[in-house]
Amino acid sequence: MGSNIFQRILRLNANVRLFSTRTPPAARPPYRYLRTLALGGSVAVTGYTLGALYPHRHITFISPRPAPGPPDPESPQSIAYTAALEQSLQTLPLLTSLRAKPDADEWYETRPYVNYAEQFRVNSLTAGALRGPGKLALPPLVRARRDESEAVVIVHVGRGLCGHDGIIHGGLLATILDESLARTAIINLPDKIGVTANLSINYRAPTFADQFIVVRISLVDKAGRKSKVSGKVEDLKGNVLVEAHATFVQPKYAHLLKSKAIQQMMGQPEPAKSTPVLLSEGMPPPPKA
């Protein structure tokens, strides 16, 4: 009995010695960890550099990038910029496709404010105070159906029209919508004079600066001295940025207002076949801010 116990103790000690003399598994070479750290660091540095040089537009919400203010509209650089922007407008694929549609003869093209008298222009918000490079550099280009039931307005919005840096002010978009909707609504009133009775706006996405935007307007209803219209602002990719509905009424004192000046401001319908209306045709240079 005692000998058996003694033999078990000896075997147990032998096993303990055998286990203790085993070599531990080889540790990973330290350079593998260093290589992983170096790779991760290079990816982070590359991502930061690219993000700083070419930031995503939505990053400007958090960290806007500074930009110079609107230039002097009478400087040679501003005149060249405006001419280049007008050329870009005339060659927009959207505008080219609209002009080439089979029903193009049912539409006409006009440019509001082009024939607007200077004595009225200087005290106008969108034709005067906000006109110029970096703001509203070009007069709107309007393509309207001859029965005045629809219209498409193309506007360029500059960086000087922002609320948050790089993003067009919501109030400015409301102004553009108000004037664009008003044109279709007022032309459908008996005396072609009207005022905004109601304007309802829903903002769907941020409108970034330094781009052409498209306002699409439809006549909803007209009855007597009241007309209702709807519209939306899109970018050139067709993304909806703002939606709006409005009601315009013809005031009882409409006969006392200068309807001819208002028609000149809105852009009068062309009696003949629609032809492209260029900035240089009868339009004075942008007024000095």
Per the CB < 8 A criterion, the answer to whether 191 and 254 are in contact is yes
pLDDT of residue 289: 39
For 87-112, what is the mean pLDDT? 95
Q: How confident is the model at residue 285 (pLDDT cuts 50, 70, 90)?
A: very low
How many C-beta neighbours within 10 Å does residue 153 have?
25
Residue 177 has pLDDT above 70, yes or no: yes
Rounded to an integer, what distance in angstroms lies between the CA atom of residue 234 and that of residue 237?
Answer: 8
Residue 199 has pLDDT above 70, yes or no: yes
Residue 208 has pLDDT above 90, yes or no: yes
- Nearest CA-CA partner of 180 in 226, 133, 231, 223: 231
Look at the block and give the residue holding tokens 């330290």.
30
Q: How confident is the model at residue 90 (pLDDT cuts 50, 70, 90)?
A: very high
Residues above pLDDT 70, as percent of the chain:
66
pLDDT of residue 114: 84
pLDDT of residue 118: 83
Q: Which of 20-34, 131-145, 245-259 has the largest mean confidence?
A: 131-145
Per the CB < 8 A criterion, the answer to whether 204 and 244 are in contact is no
Is the model more confident about 119 or about 83? 83
pTM of the model: 0.72
Q: Provide the token pair at 79.
A: 């005149």
Q: Provide the token pair at 150.
A: 């629809």
| Residues in Cβ contact with 23 at an 8 Å cutoff, skipping those fewer than 6 apart | none
Q: Which of 4-13, 126-135, 171-180 has the largest mean confidence?
A: 171-180
Domains and CATH numbers, the chain: 76-266 (3.10.129.10)
Residue 246 has pLDDT above 80, yes or no: yes
Mean pLDDT check: name the lowest of 81-90, 139-148, 278-287.
278-287
Residue 65 has pLDDT above 50, yes or no: yes
For 174-179, what is the mean pLDDT? 96
